[in-house]
Amino acid sequence: MAQEPSKIEALAGRRVLLVVTGGIAAYKALELIRLLRKAGAGVRCVLTRAGSEFVTPLSLQALSGDKVYSDLFSLTDESEMGHIELSRAADLVVVAPASADFLAKMAHGRADDLASTVLLATDKETLVAPSMNVRMWQHPATQANLATLRQRGVRFVGPDDGDMACGEYGPGRMAEPAAIQTAIAGYFAQPRPLAGRSALVTSGPTHEPIDPVRYIANRSSGKQGHAIASALARLGAATTLVTGPTALADPAGVTVRRVESARDMLAACRDALPVDVAVCAAAVADWRMAEAAAHKMKRGDQAELSLRLQQNPDILAALSAAGNQRPALVVGFAAETERVVELARAKRARKGCDWIVANDVSAETGTFGGDDNTVHLIAGDDTETWPRMRKQDVADKLAERIAERLGAAAEPS
């Protein structure tokens, strides 16, 4: 396969930690090492016990020019390079081939050998090239593991459709070494215009206690806020995500602070300052109990009950008015069901933020809790209407706009 020279060049000087697990495709890892080294990358290998049934440590060592690590409890290995350091010294962790069993281990956070321990301990991104029988690939258990890992930000290349060593045909064959090399190069070639910048993102709902067992909440899924944190981190920003309770996994490469109430969220946001950009995507509860009950409230005999509520702090407005701690760019969201742009413009002025991302959340749009979003970006007097797109894509586009804006602000006038 012909390679784009500009992308392949991105491999020069990079360090790849290659985890080789048990599968017939393990022999292709040898060719992958050769390609990576030819392009100037350093490769260090971790071999699982099952992997060593298919390739020998000696061949991996000969091609990588480095010691091969396989034993979690080896005194010599640990004294030379402990499993934590091994997991952090690389720029990217690549698992090729990744067996169904190893994907399951990754998804469940198991750490019973060196390879899985390294995966759990790493602070680097992970690229996985699955390799397995078509039925194992299609099994709901594998697909569920895959979905979990994707949600955590793990990247995948392949598998391809094709004839398998077991005589069956279908998806499951490991991507070719050249395709894996391209995916690795693509990762390193990604622009990082926000490197050296810091970002704060709020996400999810807040829970406001009524009594020790009940709370006021809303239906926010946190999908949009989490996707924004992930997108900003991918562009290189040191990103803190302050999130209310959600069912979502922590995005890769992001510092996550979990909170419950609006007041906790505000405190966590203040702790994260100073930052260059703050994006408030959380659906903060407007109200909390004026006084939450210390004990579970009893039903009693009365037919009605009134709760006395008190307004919560407005986090977006507070960050916009944070004096010398104010982020250079403060972005809010406005969920409206009518006159979307007009109301969002008024909100921008009221809150004192720089940009508002206005979205139509009327019931027929399915935005709340769904995967798609239709938004307008209101930046000063300019309004851009973006086509309906996935929340992930809204996040990427917004992160790009933020990078452009911060980049322009940094240029000497």
The residues assigned a catalytic role are: 166
- Cα–Cα distances (Å) from 342 to 147, 361, 378, in that order, read 38, 15, 10
Using CB under 6 A as the binding rule, the residues of this chain from 197 to 256 that contact ligand C5P are 202
Q: Quick one: 164 or 228, whose CB is closer to ligand C5P?
A: 228
Piece of 6-14, 214-222, 314-322, 364-372 that binds ligand C5P (CB under 6 A): 314-322
Measured in whole angstroms, how far is the alpha carbon of residue 71 from the centre of its chain?
30
Q: Quick one: 94 or 281, whose CB is closer to ligand C5P?
A: 281
Cα distance between residue 39 and residue 15, in whole Å:
12
Among 100, 237, 242, 262, binds ligand C5P (CB under 6 A): 262
DSSP 205: B
Whole-number minimum distance, CB 284 to ligand C5P, in Å?
3
Among 312, 320, 373, 392, binds ligand C5P (CB under 6 A): 312
Is residue 75 helix, strand or coil? helix
Phi/psi of residue 165, each to 5°? -60, -30
A 10 A CB-CB count for 73 gives: 9
Which positions from 322 to 361 touch ligand C5P by CB under 6 A, shown as an x/- string? ----------xxx------------x--------------
Cα distance between residue 222 and residue 207, in whole Å:
13
Whole-number minimum distance, CB 316 to ligand C5P, in Å?
4
Is 286 flagged in the annotation as binding? yes
Piece of 72-80, 150-158, 215-223, 311-319 that binds ligand C5P (CB under 6 A): 311-319
Cα distance between residue 31 and residue 49, in whole Å:
20
3-state secondary structure 117-146: HHHHHCCCCEEEEECCCHHHHHCHHHHHHH
Q: Based on the shown chain and the rule CB under 6 A, indicate whether residue 127 belongs to the binding site for ligand C5P.
A: no
* Strand 389-390 with 372-373, pairing: antiparallel
Among 114, 315, 329, 358, binds ligand C5P (CB under 6 A): 315
Q: Which helix (H) or strand (E) holds 58?
A: helix 57-64
Is 209 flagged in the annotation as binding? no
Among 77, 113, 314, 354, binds ligand C5P (CB under 6 A): 314
Q: Quick one: 183 or 265, whose CB is closer to ligand C5P?
A: 265
Is 381 flagged in the annotation as binding? no
